[in-house]
Amino acid sequence: METFSKILNDDKLVLVDFFAEWCGPCKMMAPELKRFAEQHTSDVRVLKVDIDKNRDTATQFNIQGVPTLILFKKGKILWRQSGAMNAQQLSDIVKSEIGNGQK
């Protein structure tokens, strides 16, 4: 079984969505995140972490508000932002990070 830590330390980019079931913007963002994941199956792994069910993980990454998105590569945080985004904005960020030699 893959652990969260093992996934984050992978060579593949990992986008983690820290969310909560009660969060309105998180619910609005869910279909955008799904669309983004479908467009990037080969280059980005997308994980959703419910902060209420994973309090230790949320604390570890200092999650203050939801949604918070963090992009990882080999365990290192490349990018982080709180607030809802659409699939195109997420794609642009990933392209930017890949363009910065992170791939």
| Per-residue pLDDT at 102 exceeds 50 | no
Q: Is 75 among the catalytic positions?
A: no
Closest CA to 85 of 43, 45, 39, 29: 29
Q: How far is CA 59 from the centre of its chain?
A: 16
pLDDT at res. 98: 74
Q: Per DSSP, what are the bridge partners of residue 82?
A: 68
Total residue count of the chain as it appears in this document = 103
- Which sign, positive or negative, has the C-alpha torsion 18, 50, 62, 44? negative
Q: Could you report the per-residue pLDDT of 8-60, keeping only the tens digit for each?
A: 998 999 999 999 999 999 999 999 999 999 999 999 999 999 999 999 999 99
pLDDT at res. 101: 55
Catalytic residue among 26, 46, 71, 87: 26
pLDDT at res. 60: 96
* Residue 32 belongs to domain with CATH number: 3.40.30.10
Q: Is 22 among the catalytic positions?
A: no
User: What domain range includes position 86?
Assistant: 4-102
Whether the CB-CB separation of 54 and 61 falls below 8 Å is answered with no
Residue 67, preceding bond cis, omega within 30 degrees? yes
Q: State how many domains the chain has.
A: 1
pTM of the model: 0.93
Catalytic residue among 13, 15, 23, 33: 23
